[in-house]
Amino acid sequence: MKRNGLVVVLAGVTAAVFAAGCSGGVATVDGKTVSKEKFRAYLQFKRIPAGDSAKVKKALDDYVERTAIAAAIEKQKLLDERSMEVELEEFKKEMLISRYFEKFLSDKVSDQAVANYYNTNPGAFEENRVKVAHILVRINQTMDKTALQARLTLARSIYAKVKSGMDFAEAARQYSEDKQSSERGGELGWVKQDGIDPEFLKVTATMNTGDISEPFKTAYGYHIVKVLEASRKALKPYKNVEGDIRYQLRASAKSAEAERLTKSVSVKKGSYSESGK
């Protein structure tokens, strides 16, 4: 058949003939042969099973049509060929680099490598934790000075009761406005010191086991804190840091491999200017 002045001859290849390994190409477009090897690679790229005759035939029709249209457009010389060549070169570079590193890093940074790094560098994954309980008197952004002072006065009265001998857990159950923790006697459990309010951290960092703080303010309200167990270092769970380790190892391995690859080829750089000087 004729298409835009180009002679397109289909070989009439079915999947059975293709799989049997017929000689020659699977089609010719404008006098150029489309080899079986090239079309096989196309099928693999499109993830089309070679044994599916209907899909292979449609894939061949589509491939030949697109090849014919591209050949016709090239002949019209309407596009900037140099610009197209540069774009194709850059696309090829990007594809080579990304696919190479995808495979390289998959092999280099395995699950075992990530686990080994975690196990051999425990100091990198330690964090300070403190076990605390608190009593909270809530505040909000709409309160004026008078309302805030009333809230602080309430917190101080609760603190006075605790210092006078009232059990802290009982005071939390009666007075704390953090309903979740109040049911547990105010207990918050082990709190990461790098993951809490800065003022909360400032107060608890120097407290010892059994110490009870005076009321202090955070964005949530006025807290009275009891340290159940003083600050100590603890290892972060592996699942919490696995992604960070993998990212770090991949970045390091990629940088080292990119440097090795660059040094493995000869590079001489000149200079460029529009004047040509």
Let me know whether 8 and 72 are in one domain: yes
Tokens for 25? 């190409």
| CA–CA dist 207, 205 (Å, integer) | 6
**Number of structural domains the chain divides into:** 2
- Residue at 252 is within a domain: no
Residue in the block written with tokens 């010719």? 28
Let me know whether 153 and 54 are in one domain: no
Let me know whether 230 and 134 are in one domain: yes
pLDDT tens, position by position, 103-117: 999 999 999 999 999
pLDDT tens, position by position, 199-250: 888 888 889 999 999 999 998 999 999 999 887 888 888 998 999 999 999 9
CB 135 within 8 A of CB 158: yes
- Residue at 190 is within a domain: yes
pLDDT tens, position by position, 32-55: 999 999 999 999 999 999 999 999
Tell me the residue range of the domain where 27 lies.
2-78
- Residue at 140 is within a domain: yes
**What percentage of the chain carries pLDDT values higher than 90?**
67
